[in-house]
Structure 1
Amino acid sequence: MGKFSKLQDYVLAFTGNTTLLGKVAMKYALIAILLLICACILLFLSQVFLLASSFAYLAKTMSGAYMNSMLTQIERRFNIPASLVGIINGSFEIGNLLVIAFVSYFGAKLHRPRIIALGCTVMSFGCLLISLPHFLMERYQYETALSPLENSSSSMSMCLINQSQSSTHMEKQSAECEQKFGSLMWVFVLVGNIIRGIGETPIMPLVISYVEDFSKAENSPFYIGCLQIATVIGPFLGFMLGSYCAQLYVDLGFTDIEVTITLTDARWVGAWWLGVLICGSVNLLAGIPFCFLPKSLPKEGQASETELLSMRNVSLLQERSETQAKRKMREITKDFIPFLRSLFHNPVYMLFICITVMQFSAYIGMITFMPKYLEQQYGKSASEAIFLIAVYNLPIICIGYFLGGFLMKKFNISTIQAANIAFWISLIEYLIYFAAYFTVCENSPVAGLTVSYEGIEQVSYMETTLLADCNSDCDCSVKVWDPVCGENGITYVSPCLAGCTASDGTRKYTVFENCTCVAASGFSSGNVSAVLGQCDKEANCDMMLQYYLILSIVCSLIYSLGAMPGYMVLIRSLKPEEKSFGVGIHTLASRVFAGIPSPIYFGALIDSTCLKWGTLSCGGEGACRMYDIVTYRWFYLGLPAILRGVSYIPCVLILLILKKQLKSSDGKTLKRSPTAMEAREE
């Protein structure tokens, strides 16, 4: 109180009031002012934490959505198959699993805001590592019929009758490549994504626990709702950023060569690295406010004068809470095996895990390769595909989640009612889902791959079918992918394979002439030509895309409506003391058995439908340039249909179990209490 007395004396000397009444009044006035200042600081800190947490949620979901949107660009830039892209995508979940046990055990004991700040910083470092290959690799060079140094077309991609220059050049290039090491730069992306997953792990659980600790019971749902809003805005911003970056050429600001390919070309690579750097910067900024927040805040409405003015009492309270946390941790450790045994003997809980694994596997596989599906099926660019997903799907899913939760609260729905609602809503959406098989486009005509050189429809996975009588004298390479569109509406894999012997024009306006294979298809016997790029999709393909998007809106809304009732079945199937542990095991199972393997086997199935592979600089298969979209469609839509169809078996079993439990509980109630007739007689 010495410093406080001096402060009081200074104030009294300044006011000139030395009466006893004045001293007492001044004393309580100073105490009131100090209490008000401390209350304002605490209120400010709580609001700052809520804002900082919302920003952190937005940053982490934004970077996650952006990475999902850029998978196709990463596949093309590093010339890797879709199955390897699936491994990269699943590596984020691996990073989560590496530290989730550490965070769960030590997170509550340590300085939570600083751990959150560290997580944001680690995520930022992961993003930096992901973008690093762009600055270490050479400039992106795609296969092209045009010489990068001249305005004229390169003779190496033209039909050279009775000459062997083309094959000699290819053999020389392969011999030179044998002395170089293969590019493994995609490993940086893989490791960076693992680190990003490690950094993301502590954010959600520690933010939620911190909010629960300082907020009132009636305010907690509002605060958590604010955080959920951020998780909605984040993916939307991530997809919009992905759509923008996919329009920019990968070597933005560094290329002095005119880009001759369009956004819809299978060789196009957008500026994937730019958005990663932006996401990394946002994550870094999100972690800064947490560095200045205290280890804990007093409970709202429970701050007392002693807590505000006495640091000793505050430290005692912290020691007491730490002791209680340790005691609670010992109890949890002691009850670990009994809890685990109890969960394994809970049929509703175990069946719900089976449902989640199958449904989540279908969802993750579809959302991972959805941009690629829109590109291949409807001929859209990556930028357009990402934009359509963001605009059509994300908002409607949020509306569905909100309505589902609101209806659950409004009508006070029981567990058996929630299970029935979730089952029938999901089943209705599942049946509507099959309409997607009718909103399709057919394979584009590509000579030697989907049609013969005579224009007859035939799908071939063999490179030998690229050679025909009309180009047999041209000594063409079947490894090159540099498509040209003939006047007959058929695409040819390269000007050489189209039999073109001359060209006119420069750069992207080059026209290839005297194309013998175009003439051989019966289109014309005169001077026929071809232009750069694939031929456009069929006329009704845009209309089919509109039908598919409308269908996706309906399915997303219906499916999201049943998500909240279904999740409540999980929560209510657990005992109060088992809820935290049960939800953790449920999350772990969904990540291990769905989040990690699903993108890998979806990618492997998609790879199996590839008709024309790109070629690595030193030989070997690179990224796929063209798919058999009919088989692709059956795999992309069929595998989720099978997984979800099987998941309805445990759904039916849960309904039967809940009905049986309801009947048994009603029977016990009737035995214990008199019937209505007996009650009336009494």
Structure 2
Amino acid sequence: MDTSSKENIQLFCKNSVQPVERPSYKTEYSSSEEKPPCCGELKVFLGALSFVYFAKALAEGYLKSTITQIERRFEIPSSLVGVIDGSFEIGNLLVITFVSYFGARLHRPKIIGAGCLVMGVGTLLIALPHLFMQHISPCFLESNSQLPTSVMEKAHSKINNECEVDTSSSMWVYVFLGNLLRGIGETPIQPLGITYLDDFASEDNAAFYIGCVQTVAIIGPIFGFLLGSLCAKLYVDIGFVNLDHITITPKDPQWVGAWWLGYLIAGVLSLVAAVPFWCLPKSLLRPQSREDSSSSEKSKFIIDDHTEYQTPHREKAKIMEMARDFLPSLKNLFGNPVYFLYLCASTLQFNSLFGMVTYKPKYIEQQYGQSPSKANFVIGLINIPAVALGIFSGGIVMKKFRISIFGAAKIYLGSSALGYLLLLSLLALGCENSDVAGLTVSYQGTKPVSYHERALFSDCNSRCKCSETNWEPMCGENGITYASACLAGCQTSTRSGKTTIFHNCTCVGIAASMSGNFSGTVGRCQKDNECPKMFLYFLVVSVITSYTLSLGGTPGYILLLRCIKPQLKSFALGIYTLAIRVLAGIPAPVYFGVLIDTSCLKWGFQRCGSRGSCRLYDSNAFRHIYLGLTMLLGVMSIFLSIAVLYTLKKNYVSKHRSLRPRRERTMTSVRIRKESCATSDHLLQPSCWPGKETQL
């Protein structure tokens, strides 16, 4: 071995042993035993953000639970209720661009606090109409009165006197505006709150903190529906009327629960949640691991004591560069076939899910004859936990089995196909229409009536001078429901406690009565005996369906992130969120409501004669429209998911084929290099030095 070779070896060994100088970073704390000063403030922010997520999720769940109550109270159709439900997304979209871009440059905790204040005011505004609307009469008819003549004349004269001063028909506008403000106030919570956690938490804790926040967001709707169940049991004018005079029950279609009470609670929670954010600083001290990590992505808009201020010229040039890259980035996204197809499939699937969730309480009430309180209780305590468990299970499967992007697409497709197949079985788990005289059966109760044969008047009530617009259902002893006691031909009524009994009902006598008694009681008759059993089957299938559909949520999200270039992830997520809200969150409740209204058999009317909310639906038509539309949208999304899988498989296989020769050449090169380096003089070969084996 010559002298020059020995010198090279000694120089190499000397450099490999000496520690490499690292660039010095200005760290906020050096000792691992010393607690970082920002830890307390960051945990305060985490607790405050989690509480805000809980408050906004509770309000959203409560809104879904009060759809039927709002419809009855304001006498509006389902299509208009869908517009009110979509106003939250409209408000969110109005300011999300400005808040996401400019909010990151400003004091993020205070902006979130201001958003909580706006959200709280909007939630309280939803409950405001209750203070200005007239109270609902707790009883329908005066006891021991002559029903056909005197009561109807009094009712008509009262309607004429109150028609000019009735302003309750337009009070739903306050609900619309309040929900719009809720959407505006909610805008900064997610983008600014999550980025604040990610910027100032250590890399090990950031994912855990974000997971805690998302978990609380799932728990919120559970309490929202349970609160809706509790408020639905309370009478709407509780505290203003004597509850002993109420002659109807929560199962009666005339019942309106205390829908406004939950909005007061949710509004106060949002206002309280705003307080901690006004006490938090604009920026926190970063942990040392975040300062030293070159792979961690820092926010471009964080300005604190350890960041250089950008000159206005450089900042303007950066903004211009971002503006020039906008259209090419957008073209790149939509030019990605996997991303575009997945975006279309998700939009259709969320259309079906948003429409189904919005009107699920109404479906349970109308299809199975359950009270609003029980419908909300079932959804909050059974369905939503199943969704949360499905999302969690999807994440566990992805992590444990290390599923690739191709496997994620398979799970997403499989969960959707199986979920909608289970949903198809619900078409056979419905209840038949209740027997309502003149609407679903004839007054003789012998045969169903067609659409053209429906008539509320018959020979048995022709002398009673009844109004066909009234809907005050009465259950006769023969098991048939009548639109009102007057249309049943009842002559007198007596009251025993809270129960009103009608006597001498001529129409009840036409249809054979088991007891031979021509009387009836307030409220609709119960559905057939098979309906409770069908409702139990519906709950079981509904829970399994919710779990199955949500199982593909996490794999679908991973598919979205991995099918695009890393530098376009944030932009792709923004476009995805925008498309879901504009094309699914806003229109789905509206056109679902419009189609559901076509199945109405009996419309209610306001004091001035304009049409109000639907009193009675055709159960079969409602079931076919509600589930059929959900299935149609779901099947369309499945076909697009198949296209995603096919496109992904095509690209996946072609990519691996192109990489196979290169991989074979690489492995051959590594094998030859190892054999060559196994010789005694391997230190003389620079390719055998440590670190060179990775440069392939």
Report how far residue 90 of structure 1 moved. 0.3
Amino acid paired to 1:187: V
Report how far residue 462 of structure 1 moved. 6.7
Give the equivalent residue in structure 1 for 2:165: 180
Q: Does 1:109 align with 2:105?
A: yes
**One of 24, 46, 53 as aligned partner of 2:49:** 53
Give the equivalent residue in structure 1 for 2:224: 238
Amino acid paired to 1:289: P
Report how far residue 40 of structure 1 moved. 5.5
Report how far residue 594 of structure 1 moved. 0.6
Q: What pairs up with 1:159-174 in 2 under 5 angstroms?
A: 159-160=148-149, 168-169=153-154, 172-174=157-159
Amino acid paired to 2:187: T
**One of 131, 137, 141 as aligned partner of 1:146:** 141
> C-alpha distance in 1, partners of 2:535/2:355?
20
Distance 1:511 1:582, change over 3 A: same
Give the equivalent residue in structure 1 for 2:239: 253
Give the equivalent residue in structure 1 for 2:278: 291
Preserved CA contact (<8 Å) 1:123 1:195: yes
Q: What pairs up with 1:27-426 in 2 under 5 angstroms?
A: 41-141=37-137, 144-147=139-142, 152-155=143-146, 158-160=147-149, 168-169=153-154, 172-180=157-165, 182=167, 183-256=169-242, 258-301=245-288, 316-320=305-309, 329-426=319-416
Give the equivalent residue in structure 2 for 1:310: none
Report how far residue 281 of structure 1 moved. 0.6
Give the equivalent residue in structure 2 for 1:599: 589
Distance 1:471 1:295, change over 3 A: same
Preserved CA contact (<8 Å) 2:477 2:514: no
Q: Secondary structure at the match of 1:672?
A: helix
Q: Secondary structure at the match of 1:626?
A: strand
Give the equivalent residue in structure 2 for 1:27: none
Preserved CA contact (<8 Å) 1:60 1:234: yes
Unaligned runs of 5+ in 2: 1-27, 292-302, 673-696
Distance 1:325 1:369, change over 3 A: farther
Report how far residue 542 of structure 1 moved. 1.2
> C-alpha distance in 2, partners of 1:674/1:302?
38
Report how far residue 219 of structure 1 moved. 1.4
Number of aligned pairs?
631
Preserved CA contact (<8 Å) 1:240 1:386: yes
> C-alpha distance in 2, partners of 1:453/1:646?
44
Preserved CA contact (<8 Å) 1:79 1:622: yes
Q: Secondary structure at the match of 1:159?
A: helix
Give the equivalent residue in structure 1 for 2:688: none
Preserved CA contact (<8 Å) 2:29 2:36: no
Q: Deviations for 1:240-272, whole angstroms, at most 9, x for unmatched residues? A: 111111111111111126111111111111111
Q: Secondary structure at the match of 2:70?
A: helix
Preserved CA contact (<8 Å) 1:153 1:506: no
Distance 1:279 1:462, change over 3 A: farther
Q: Secondary structure at the match of 2:309?
A: helix
> C-alpha distance in 2, partners of 1:222/1:681?
42
> C-alpha distance in 2, partners of 1:75/1:667?
59
Give the equivalent residue in structure 2 for 1:480: 470
Preserved CA contact (<8 Å) 1:118 1:287: yes
Distance 1:398 1:380, change over 3 A: same
Preserved CA contact (<8 Å) 1:508 1:532: no
Amino acid paired to 1:299: R
Report how far residue 540 of structure 1 moved. 1.8
Preserved CA contact (<8 Å) 2:145 2:493: no
Could you tell me the TM-score, scaled by structure 1's length? 0.88
Preserved CA contact (<8 Å) 2:141 2:151: no
Give the equivalent residue in structure 2 for 1:24: none
Amino acid paired to 2:56: K
Amino acid paired to 1:189: V
Q: Secondary structure at the match of 1:59?
A: helix
Amino acid paired to 1:179: E
Amino acid paired to 1:583: L
Distance 1:464 1:320, change over 3 A: same
Q: Deviations for 1:457-508, whole angstroms, at most 9, x for unmatched residues? A: 3245579611011111111111111111111111111111111112233463
Q: Secondary structure at the match of 1:108?
A: helix
Distance 1:265 1:329, change over 3 A: farther
Distance 1:103 1:325, change over 3 A: farther
Distance 1:545 1:302, change over 3 A: same
Preserved CA contact (<8 Å) 1:153 1:510: no
Distance 1:326 1:399, change over 3 A: farther
> C-alpha distance in 1, partners of 2:440/2:73?
26
**Worse-superposed segment, 85-94 or 239-248:** 239-248
Preserved CA contact (<8 Å) 2:477 2:517: no
Amino acid paired to 1:63: A
Preserved CA contact (<8 Å) 2:333 2:572: yes
Q: Secondary structure at the match of 2:148?
A: coil
Could you tell me the TM-score, scaled by structure 2's length? 0.86
**Worse-superposed segment, 32-41 or 124-133:** 32-41
**Worse-superposed segment, 454-463 or 505-514:** 454-463
Q: Secondary structure at the match of 1:570?
A: helix
Q: Deviations for 1:176-229, whole angstroms, at most 9, x for unmatched residues? A: 345335431110000000000000011011111001100122211101011011
> C-alpha distance in 1, partners of 2:90/2:281?
31
Q: Secondary structure at the match of 1:398?
A: helix
Report how far residue 347 of structure 1 moved. 1.0
